[in-house]
Amino acid sequence: MAEAATFDYVIVGGGTAGCVLANRLTASGRHSVLLLEAGGEGRGFWIPIPAGFNKLLTDPRHNWRFATEPEPATNNRVIAVPRGKGLGGSTLINGMIYIRGQQQDYDRWAQLGCTGWSFEDVLPYFRRVENFDGPEDAYRGTGGPLPVTVVRERPEIAEAFIAAAEAAGHPRNPDYNGGTQDGFGYYQVNQRDGRRISAADAYLKPARRRPNLRVETHARALKLVFADGRVQGVMVRTRSGERLFRARREVVLTAGAVQTPQLLELSGIGAPAVLQAAGIPVRHALPGVGENYLDHFCTRMNWRVRLPVTLNEATRGWRLLGSVAQYFATRQGILTLGTGLVHGFVRTRPGLDGPDVQYFFMHASYANAAERRLDRHPGMTIGVTQLRPESRGSIHIKAPGPDTPPAIRPNFLAAEEDRRSMIEGMKCARRIVEQAPMNRYRGPEMSPGPACRTDEDWLAFARDNGQTIYHVAGTCRMGADAEAVVDPRLRVRGLAGLRVADASVMPAIISGNIQAAVFMIAEKAADLILEDASQPG
């Protein structure tokens, strides 16, 4: 084994949060930082092209391709759980949708014991992240590293869908990241000039010229190393063999909500029963590791479209060639589209303090959500997801090595409120499509189809067809109680020298796609780390 190298901070995971921390912790020049990433540089033909996400969802070079364990509530189906692989993490392969969530989400975090994480506390960090090209106000940032723009494409069927939502009684909302989330409009995405901007583009690339930052790719963390009652480093498998990297101050885990709990358990940190079953000696009992699994469950409703105005026909033959030429000449057109075109946020019952269902409208349709091969005839899709699921699952190791994927058990649809909200959300989507502005476009409903009428029918459709939308969170929950894994300063409870700063620390999932919240968590984590570093001793 090569001689150990030592840095002030060792960051494990070069995804969204890792790129932010690598930038912020090296900015002053006072601290040496090592960023470890198990994947590569995060380069590839399809990565900067927004529509390329379809190719990346099944590409093992850029995707860990995890999957759930079969569970009865989803009819024992194995559900794909993509996770980004390479510098930039899931921002290399995601749909680029930028949603902060509702103000109440973060106020709830504070109420759960996460002091310093209310909306008022985290808003400055969201503003620090953003370079929003829309109207400036007290909610939005305009000078941050991450460009955020409203989707540029305005196909006629999208305008008709928004008009149909208004006809059904829902407001038009041009900025769901502003004062209120309710309503319909166009999604916001992290793009610049029609190109995906990953966390590596926005944060890591400007920092890599700094002499106090070292980046190691193809470096798979095997376990944390303990000495003198604290975590002092990480054992890593590199292309040249195993290496030990030491941290003078802290190891910071940013491997994501799947692999951060996996690494903790491989290191002997977790629930004793889980560790013993996998043959791992218990170094630090922490029963919350891998629990509190959170994710957004989504069904896709499809309709045939009467007119040739969808992506299904626009991505074939001469039309596709024209779109490719348009994109490379102007950075405009359908290749700038990711997973969402029109957004919708609705409340499915009175008394809610915010929307509980989110819609993703696309003028495209496909039979299999994991593969996303477009149908040959014109079609449209509405993704329906419950925003604040009450169901909780788990992620735990199955073997004592990192190459065996962990057991992912989402426990989707376990809570009655989750089932109710999903059912009502799908009914509401159907009512919107049946409004007059969609008459010109609406063909037969393909999925679930007109025979789906009762609540039992809707629930059966969800169990048969629902998928994750890849918002894994919560598995190293932040809090002040005995089951929390990290405290509100993101320090692992009962262990010195170790923090977690990724989606796994969320005590409850936010109301929307989670990447914006992960950027925010990492920005705040950097401040917490630097504040602690400035204290005597």
Q: 505, exposed or middle or buried, with CB in 10 Å at 0-12, 13-18, 19+? A: buried
| Coil, strand or helix at 339 | coil
Each residue of 243-265: b (16+ CB within 10 Å) or e?
Answer: bbbbbebbbbbbbbbbbbbbbbb
Residue among 524, 528, 529 nearest 119 (CA): 524
Res. 14 pLDDT band, cuts 50 70 90 = very high
Q: Establish if 174 belongs to a structural domain.
A: yes
Q: How far apart are CA 156 and CA 162, in angstroms?
A: 10
What Cα–Cα distance (Å) separates residue 499 from each residue in 182, 491, 493, 495, 504? Answer: 35, 4, 9, 9, 11
Q: How far apart are CA 488 and CA 156, in angstroms?
A: 47
Q: Establish if 309 belongs to a structural domain.
A: yes
Encoding tokens for residue 201?
Answer: 């583009």
Quick one: average pLDDT of 398-425?
97
Q: Establish if 437 belongs to a structural domain.
A: yes
Q: Establish if 334 belongs to a structural domain.
A: yes
Q: Given this model, what pLDDT does residue 318 score?
A: 79
Give the domain extent around 354: 152-186+297-386+413-465
Domain of 368: which CATH number? 3.30.410.40
In Å, the largest CA–CA distance within the chain is 72
Half-sphere exposure of 177 (CA within 13 A, CB side): 30
Pairing mode, strands 357-362 and 379-386: antiparallel
Q: Establish if 277 belongs to a structural domain.
A: no
- Tens digits of per-residue pLDDT, 270-318? 999 999 999 999 999 999 999 999 999 999 999 999 999 999 898 888 7
- Tens digits of per-residue pLDDT, 477-487? 999 999 999 99
- Tens digits of per-residue pLDDT, 210-234? 999 999 999 999 999 998 889 999 9
- Domain tally, the chain: 1
Residue among 178, 471, 507 nearest 345 (CA): 178
What Cα–Cα distance (Å) separates residue 392 from each residue in 112, 387, 389, 436? Answer: 16, 14, 8, 40
Q: Establish if 326 belongs to a structural domain.
A: yes
What Cα–Cα distance (Å) separates residue 241 from each residue in 2, 166, 216, 220? Answer: 8, 60, 13, 11
Q: Establish if 422 belongs to a structural domain.
A: yes
Residues 6+ apart with CB under 8 A from 284: 268, 269, 494, 495
- Tens digits of per-residue pLDDT, 129-142? 999 999 888 999 99
Res. 371 pLDDT band, cuts 50 70 90 = low
The catalytic residue positions are 471
Q: Establish if 159 belongs to a structural domain.
A: yes
- Tens digits of per-residue pLDDT, 245-261? 999 999 999 999 999 99
Element (H, E) at 121: helix 119-129
Give the CA radius of gyration of the chain: 23
Please, are residues 410 and 71 in contact by the beta-carbon 8 Å criterion? Answer: yes
- Tens digits of per-residue pLDDT, 312-341? 898 888 788 888 888 889 899 888 998 889
